[in-house]
């Protein structure tokens, strides 16, 4: 496990390390409370991988999934599974979406989802984000 304690402006440090370890087809499960910075991390990563920083990265809460072009990965997919069960994942076709070429970030990925994905043969990386008390920084726990 790797741990980082970063403010938003320093997320490029984590993004650099993630770019070095993430490959096409990998799935990154993001965990943390509402407002902990899951979408902020995806935004920083997408911007970090693009030469032109004009892409508007938003939370896919209402659309379930968004995709962004990436020279390194072909596409970066961003999913929001808030209050979705593994059964919902199957019914919504998420497993099929995760088979697309590219890198996949899944907000609200819990242990049940992680077990289902690993059992299905996916390479899963977990990132748990915890805001610090009264500070602007966050703790990012990355488990491979």
> Which string of DSSP letters, residue by residue, matches the chain?
-EEEEE-GGGHHHHHHHHHHH--TT-EEEEE--TTSSHHHHHHHHHHHH-SSTT------TTTSEEEEEETTTEEEEEEE-TT--HHHHHHHTHHHHHTSSSEEEEET--HHHHHHHHHTT--EEEEEEEEPTTSS-EEEEEE-
The domain limits of the chain are 11-143
Q: Residue 64 has what pLDDT?
A: 82
Is residue 122 over pLDDT 90? Answer: yes
Q: Residue 88 has what pLDDT?
A: 83
Q: Tell me the per-residue pLDDT of 11-24, one tens digit each, with 9 for 90 and over.
A: 999 999 999 999 99
**Tokens linked to 107:** 């907000």
Q: Tell me the per-residue pLDDT of 9-61, one tens digit each, with 9 for 90 and over.
A: 999 999 999 999 999 999 999 999 999 999 999 999 999 998 766 668 878 77
Report how far residue 64's alpha carbon sits from residue 108's, in angstroms, rounded to the nearest whole number.
Answer: 12
Q: Residue 107 has what pLDDT?
A: 95
Superfamily name and number for 11-143: P-loop containing nucleotide triphosphate hydrolases (3.40.50.300)
């Amino acid at each position: 496990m790797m741990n980082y304690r970063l403010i938003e402006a320093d997320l490029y440090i984590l993004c650099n390390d993630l770019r070095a370890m993430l490959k096409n087809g990998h799935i990154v499960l993001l965990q943390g409370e509402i407002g902990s910075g899951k979408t902020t991390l995806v935004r920083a990563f997408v911007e970090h991988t693009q030469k032109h920083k004009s892409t508007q990265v938003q939370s896919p809460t209402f659309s379930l999934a968004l995709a962004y072009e990436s020279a390194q990965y072909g596409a970066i997919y961003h999913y929001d599974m808030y209050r979705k069960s593994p059964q919902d994942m199957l019914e919504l076709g998420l497993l099929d979406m995760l088979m697309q070429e590219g890198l996949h970030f899944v907000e609200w990925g819990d242990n049940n989802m992680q077990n289902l994905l690993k059992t299905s043969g996916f390479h899963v990386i977990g990132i748990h984000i915890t805001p610090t008390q009264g500070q602007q920084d966050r703790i990012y726990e990355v488990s491979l």
